[in-house]
Amino acid sequence: MLYLILSNIALIVFFLIYWLGLRKLTFFQWNRWFLLGSLIIAYLIPLGLYIQVPMPEMMIMEIPEIAIGTNQQAIDANQVWANHWEILSIQTLHAMYWLGVAIFSVWFLYRVVALLRTIREGAAKGSFSFFGKIVLSKELQDEDLRQVRNHELEHVKQGHSLDIILLEIFRLFNWFNPIYPILIREMKFVHECIVDEKHADNKVAYAELLLAQAMNTKSALLQHEFSNNSLLKNRITMLFKEKTAYKFKATYLLTLPASLFMLFLVVNCKQEEQKAEPKVEKITLQDVPEERKYEGTLIDNPEILADYPGGIDNFRKFVQETYTYPQAAIDAGVRGKVVANFIIGSDGEISNILITEDLGHGTGEALIAAIEKAEKWKPAIQDGKAVASRFMIPLRLDLSQQ
């Protein structure tokens, strides 16, 4: 879902560049390729989410904090409900998205079938083309018929229908983006300008023919009509507009910095998200004594993280249920955080458990005892090989309301 959101934002940015800076230029073929290229680039930029940027070497994976106290049962119940509603919300969003895709797919197929029926029956009043099919108005004669036929043949030769179908397919999966109807209409306008420029030898006569044909033209969505009322005014304006100076082609270079900037933002946001997650924290660890060994090479930032059977949350639940609150700590009424660091060897065994923050009264020793009872982990992977990795687990104790 994040991928779709980012790609559609990128598409809107590119279209704004086109609308504000390129739309009035007479480089029609360039505009066509800009619109198509920006569509592809917009859906490539979010791939930056999956680009891994090297992170600092001294890293330790921090397991989300575990809380133990008199209200823990209520806390767990609230967490279960929160997770439940979060899952429900995500499922609802996914269902709504795919429902939209289904509705737009049916609508798209209906229009294609209706268009094919119109081509087969030849009942259209206007003239239009769709891929290799051309329908010409029966009212056209002689020179007008030749000119309109050449116009539609140019659409066919340049494959303009393929552009529209491509946009329509993208639209199916991005139906929530309001820019698509405008983008499709603009692409059709660019197509018409490309053909108008090539075949309008006599601009005045050509404009008169456009106006004459427009009187009997029914608006369409998929095919290319010789004369479309909604595009007519702008087409005639561009037909008579003075050609843009060649130097203004440099305007298209705006795409490059915009693309790089958006890619930078996506990658940077990904890295910030990783830093903000409670699973990762910079920390300076004490040196591990030589006599305390573990299996494998210790890697601080492995490609694939070590995992507990059933997931990290299962490990948290196990420690929470296994931890025995020391009576001395209860009597002293201590509260605060106990933190333990440990290493998962390449064999999945837990070793080198070290308490870095302690409340005394046996709280640290009790945490070590709980961790030691855990199952073997699935070890971290680096370059296809199992390696050792560091973990931190914080435990918050609070019996103040007992």
Q: What is the tens place of the pLDDT at every residue in 24-47?
A: 888 889 999 999 998 998 888 887
Pairing of strands 389-398, 59-62: parallel
- Structural domain contains residue 268: no
As beta bridge partners, residue 396 has: 67, 337
> Do 100 and 241 have their domain in common?
yes
Q: Are 238 and 356 in a shared domain?
A: no
Give pLDDT, residue 163. 93
* Residue whose token pair is 């991928």: 3
Nearest to 230 by CA among 197, 196, 192, 195: 192
Q: H/E element holding 154?
A: helix 142-158
Identify any residues that bridge with 74 across adjacent strands, giving them in sequence order: none
- The DSSP-derived string for 216-262 is TPPP-SSSEESS-HHHHHHHHHHHHSPPPPGGGGGGGGGHHHHHHHH
Residues 168 and 222 in one domain: yes
In a domain, 274, yes or no: no
Based on the fold, state whether residues 34 and 181 are members of the same structural domain.
yes
Domain-embedded: residue 62: no
How far apart, in Å, are the Cα atoms of 7 and each of 97, 129, 231, 300?
15, 31, 28, 33
Examine the domain organization and report whether 234 and 99 are in the same domain.
yes
Domain end, chosen from 228, 263, 298, is at: 263
Could you say which of 199, 234, 263 is where a domain stops? 263
Give pTM, 2 decimals.
0.55
In a domain, residue 220? The reply is yes
3-state class (DSSP) for residue 145: helix
What is the predicted pLDDT for the residue at 165?
A: 94
Mean pLDDT across the chain: 77
Could you tell me if 252 and 354 lie in one domain?
Answer: no
pLDDT, residue 214, reads: 61
pLDDT at residue 46, rounded to an integer? 81
The whole domain housing 38 covers 2-55+85-263
Both tokens of residue 62?
């921090």
For residue 179 the two structure tokens come to 């820019």
Residue ending a domain, choose from 201, 232, 263: 263
The answer to whether residues 251 and 289 belong to one domain is: no
In a shared domain, residues 388 and 308 = yes
Q: What is the per-residue pLDDT across 347-391, written as a single tens digit (0 to 9) for each?
A: 888 888 888 888 888 888 999 999 889 888 988 888 888 988 888
Residue (of 270, 317, 273, 247) closest to 73 by Cα position: 317
Residues 213 and 151 in one domain: yes
Residue type, 319: V
Q: Is residue 276 part of a domain?
A: no
Question: Distance of alpha carbon 276 from its chain centroid, rounded?
Answer: 20
Q: Are residues 227 and 308 in the same domain?
A: no
327: closest CA among 357, 361, 365, 358? Answer: 361
Q: What pLDDT was estimated at residue 336?
A: 85
What parts of the chain have a pLDDT lower than 50?
53, 55-58, 70, 72-76, 219, 272-291, 401-402
For residues 282 and 305, what is the distance between their CA atoms, to the nearest angstrom? 16
Distance CA 16, CA 8 (A): 12
For residue 293, is it within any domain? yes
Candidates 326, 347, 300; CA nearest to 395 is 326
Please give the DSSP secondary-structure letter assigned to residue 297. -
**Number of other CB atoms surrounding residue 194 within 10 Å:** 18
Query: How many domains would you assign to the chain?
Result: 2
* Domain presence at residue 136: yes
Residues 195, 42: Cα–Cα separation, whole Å: 27
Same domain, 188 and 41: yes
- The CATH number of the domain holding residue 301 is 3.30.2420.10
Main-chain phi, psi angles of 311, to 5 degrees: 100, 165
Q: What is the pLDDT of residue 229?
A: 55
- With contact defined as beta carbons under 8 Å apart, do 94 and 311 qualify? no
65 in a domain, yes or no?
A: no
288 and 259 belong to one structural domain: no
